Amino acid sequence: MTNLQNLLKADKITIARAITQVENGTDPKLLEEIFPHTGNAYYIGITGPPGAGKSSLVNAIVPKLLENNKKVGIIAVDPTSPFSGGALLGDRIRMNDLALNENVFIRSMATRGSLGGLASKTKDVALVLDAAGMDYIVIETVGVGQVELDIAQVCDTTVVVLVPESGDAIQAMKAGILEVADILVVNKGDRSGADRLILEMKFAFELRAHNTDWHNPILKTTAIENIGIDELVSTIKSHKEHLEKSGKLEIERKNKLTLRVNELIEERIKSHLHEYVIDQKQLKKMIDKAYERKITPQYIIDEIAKKIF
């Protein structure tokens, strides 16, 4: 197929169109075709609250990732408005330094109703960039708060970005955000409170159960002035090395693949259920009865389950 060949040659128009097709689900065969060509890119996730400087950090770290003629694909996710279905995708504003680089491909994605910090198709779009020969894929989530942790199920290294204004360490401790951080960055490090937050976070990390031999580093950066960026990039690279040498990269990628396959099976079963198993008319009648308190929801579930098991 010539399209696939163009994609593998990293022709930008072909990549862009393939992403659109994957995003809109208009060419189900495409993912099948590209899958054998994926698995070569290293996935880096950048997450954190709105305004923490995620896009600016991406703008700062990517030039370093490009050294030695590497290619980088960037997926920047911004929220879809639940009211209009539209989205204002503005992450590119902070990535101007990268816009004209031959070896960079940037794609903005709207969440389109998904709530985990990524769009539901982000994983598939990443596969397109992977097949197109990107060495690194950097995925930036929407600004997240406490529970949006999809990113860790996609990326090999997850960088969590906080700022002195994010609140104290207790905020971060109750949020699952600490658990997904392979590397923690306190950005806007020139602001007052940065050093205090770093100290608090170090303490919070010490309280965590130590079931890994990776000691989550906490770094201070000022992205727009390029301060602390060298160290961040070398820490990402040493995390990569750590995963590769310990054999964890393979284990974790298999875990992620398992998760993904389970997810897709569930989706398939769900749509089958709604299309073929559950008789909506009959269900409606039973709901009416349940509303009258003549039967219970559990009874309805048992009745429907009988058809399957």
Verify binding: residue 92, another protein, rule CB under 8 A.
yes
- The stretch among 8-16, 173-181, 189-197, 227-235 that binds another protein (CB under 8 A) is 8-16
Interior/surface letters 7-45, b for 16+ CB within 10 angstroms, e for the rest: beebeeebbebbbebbbeeeeeebbeebeebeeebbbbb
CB of 79 to another protein, least distance (A): 11
- Find the shortest distance in angstroms from Cβ 23 to another protein: 8
* 3-state SS class at 133: coil
**Applying CB under 8 A, which of residues 3, 6, 20, 238 lies at the interface with another protein?**
20
Residue 256 binding another protein, by CB under 8 A = no
Q: Applying CB under 8 A, what is the total number of residues that bind another protein?
A: 29
Contacts to another protein from residues 23-62, by CB under 8 A: 24-25
Which residues, other chains included, contact 230 with Cβ-Cβ below 8 Å and sequence gap of 6+?
64
- Taking the alpha carbons of 124, 113, 60, 231 in that order, is the dihedral positive or negative? negative
Among 71, 107, 121, 188, binds another protein (CB under 8 A): 107
Q: Would you give the end-to-end CA distance of the chain in angstroms? A: 43
Q: Which of 87, 224, 249, 295 binds another protein (CB under 8 A)?
A: 87
Q: Contact 158/180 with Cβ under 8 angstroms?
A: yes
Residues of the shown chain interacting with another protein in the complex, contacts defined by CB under 8 A:
12-13, 15-17, 19-20, 24-25, 80-81, 84-90, 92-93, 96, 99-100, 105-108, 110, 112
